[in-house]
Amino acid sequence: MAPGGDNDELDGLFQDRNTENTDKDTDCCLWFKNHSGVAACLASGLFIGIVPATSRYIQDSGYTAFQINFFNDLLLFIAVLCVVAYQRKSLLPTNCGQVFRLVFQGVGRFVGTLCQIQAYRYAPPATAETIINPSTIVFVVILSCIFIKEMPTCATIFGSLWCMAGIALLGYSSITNKDTSTQDTDDVVLGTVLAIAAGLLFAMLSVNIKILLESTSKTMVLTYAYTTATVLSGVATIFTTKTWYLEPTTAGLLFANCVSRCTSIVLMYVGLKHVEVNAAMALFQVDAFSAFGLQWAILGIAPTMFDGFGLACILIGTISIAIWEGLVLWIEDKHSKLIKQLEFNATLPYDDM
């Protein structure tokens, strides 16, 4: 054997080990990113669960939905402005269709958030929040099928039916278990309808964002959305507000409300970088636990048996969608890795000759 033969074998051996170590490092990085994305989605849900009970308490103290909406949008608008100032990108739309969709995003956000906050006032807030999220999932499936021709899978349809059953149970619970914390809670049907309307509007915004992102940057979408919503809520606040002063406890809850919503949105964007959308929506349903817990602690409204059944149905629906989508992505990832390992390609043998 030639003297260089052993060296070649040793070099190949060490190269294989280095490749294996690199693959292990890559797998560890992907594992950490995926789990950090899951943790961000779970934390996002827990933070947004603080909003319903605090919004109801603030409204009971004399603040209007316009004021709560304005302070929330103002904080998010400031955060978006910081991003815009850092990136220094052009924010001029290129055509009329883009202008219409950007304005619709802002107006729709204003109206949807207003319906959401009003739903907290008329219905038990945790129930309203738990109705809004799965309603959004169901309406996104329907609207995406109509407008962007994305056909739902059998698992998505199965999960959506479970979500609809959970919404029905929560609606029945809110109607039969009227609380007496404020005079407006007698009309819980209106609160349930507002929650479903908010879910429909948020679903429309989600589909609109997906269409916009094909030709528009995220920075532009966020800038126009929060600018329009902040201006509308500010004008409405000026003409409808009678109370500005708040007791220290209520002011602290308003601060917690705004910070929780802003933090939840930031964490959701972080999580979506590493977690599939349907899985993120399923993880987001953890907000029900913090929402019902704070509702009981702050407002004294205890969850009922039907609330538990409805929440269980919603969790079954969202988790089934998440598991199926995750399984599909896992199979596709394994298939692509196998193709790379086999070095399979469509080139003909004589192409290298």
The pLDDT of residue 328: 66
* Residue 326's pLDDT band (cuts 50, 70, 90): low
* Residue 117's pLDDT band (cuts 50, 70, 90): very high
Q: Say yes or no to pLDDT of 96 above 80.
A: yes
The pLDDT of residue 201: 93
The structure tokens listed for 246 are: 């708040």
Which residue would you say has higher pLDDT here, 268 or 195? 195
From residue 148, how far is each of 161, 190, 322, 345 by CA, in Å? 21, 31, 21, 33
Range ranked top by mean pLDDT from 61-70, 186-195, 326-335:
61-70
Looking up tokens 């308003």 gives 254
For the whole model, what pTM was predicted?
Answer: 0.75
Q: Say yes or no to pLDDT of 106 above 60.
A: yes
Which residue would you say has higher pLDDT here, 152 or 77? 77
Q: How far is Cα 336 from Cα 51, in angstroms, rounded to an integer? A: 42
The pLDDT of residue 277: 63
* Residue 246's pLDDT band (cuts 50, 70, 90): confident
* Residue 325's pLDDT band (cuts 50, 70, 90): low
The pLDDT of residue 111: 94
Question: Average pLDDT of 169-192?
Answer: 67
Task: Classify the phi-psi angles of 133: left when phi > 0, otherwise alpha if psi is within -120 to 50, otherwise beta.
Answer: alpha
Q: Say yes or no to pLDDT of 329 above 60.
A: yes
3 state DSSP class of 285: coil
> Could you report how far apart the first and last alpha carbons of the chain are, in Å?
29
Q: What is the pLDDT of residues 33-71, one digit of tens each?
A: 556 777 887 888 889 889 999 999 998 888 888 999 899
Radius of gyration of the chain (CA): 25
3 state DSSP class of 215: coil
**Among candidates 168, 136, 135, which has minimal Cα distance to 310?**
168
The structure tokens listed for 235 are: 């004008």
Q: Which of 30-39, 147-156, 286-295 has the lowest mean pLDDT?
A: 30-39
Question: Average pLDDT of 262-277?
Answer: 76
Q: How far is Cα 228 from Cα 224, in angstroms, rounded to an integer? A: 6
Q: What is the pLDDT of residues 127-142, one digit of tens each?
A: 888 888 888 878 887 8
The pLDDT of residue 186: 56
The pLDDT of residue 346: 46
The pLDDT of residue 353: 46
